[in-house]
């Protein structure tokens, strides 16, 4: 077979494919999450966006603070023992300080409860903590 027997691709195939992909992207529906996944009173938690809002105002949390708040919210109105919180939020094999849960609860309270003036995280003496509306 000679050189004239082969069919070559059009010169602008890459450009055509790029234009098609661009057009498809423009017509995709944007994924916007408007409803929070978890709420405690007027505190809203958006796990997909790693965002917390209280009465519409954004609250900046570290990853561990966010994980702790999310765990409390998932178990709203249920008293959680410190050991359970430690296991679920820090991991089963966590070998750090035993008062780390109390320390992070204080961080959350200073960033949320004290700032807003409403209590979301309650202490149950001798047992642990509970998130309530």
**Domain residue limits, the chain:** 62-131
Q: Residue 118: its pLDDT value, please? A: 86
Q: Residue 7: its pLDDT value, please? A: 46
**Average pLDDT for consecutive 10-residue bins of the chain (133 residues)?**
52 67 65 71 91 90 96 96 92 75 95 84 94 90
Sheet holding 121-124, edge to edge: 80-81, 128-131, 121-124
d(CA 52, CA 126): 29
| Token pair 């700032």 in the structure block, residue | 115
Classify 131 as helix, strand or coil.
strand
CATH topology of domain 62-131: Arc Repressor Mutant, subunit A (1.10.10)
Q: Residue 113: its pLDDT value, please? A: 82
Q: Residue 117: its pLDDT value, please? A: 82
Provide the whole-model pTM: 0.71
Q: Residue 132: its pLDDT value, please? A: 92
């Amino acid at each position: 077979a000679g050189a004239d027997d082969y069919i070559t691709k059009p010169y602008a195939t890459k450009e055509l494919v790029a234009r098609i992909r661009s057009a498809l992207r423009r017509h995709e529906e944007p994924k916007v999450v408007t409803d929070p996944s978890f709420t405690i009173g007027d505190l809203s938690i958006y796990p997909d966006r790693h965002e917390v809002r209280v009465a519409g105002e954004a609250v900046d949390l570290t990853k561990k603070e966010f994980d702790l708040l999310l765990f409390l919210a998932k178990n709203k109105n249920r008293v959680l023992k410190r050991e359970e919180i430690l296991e679920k939020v820090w991991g089963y094999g966590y070998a750090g300080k035993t008062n780390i849960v109390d320390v992070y609860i204080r961080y959350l309270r200073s960033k949320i409860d004290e700032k807003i003036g409403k209590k979301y995280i309650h202490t149950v003496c001798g047992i642990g903590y509970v998130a309530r509306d």
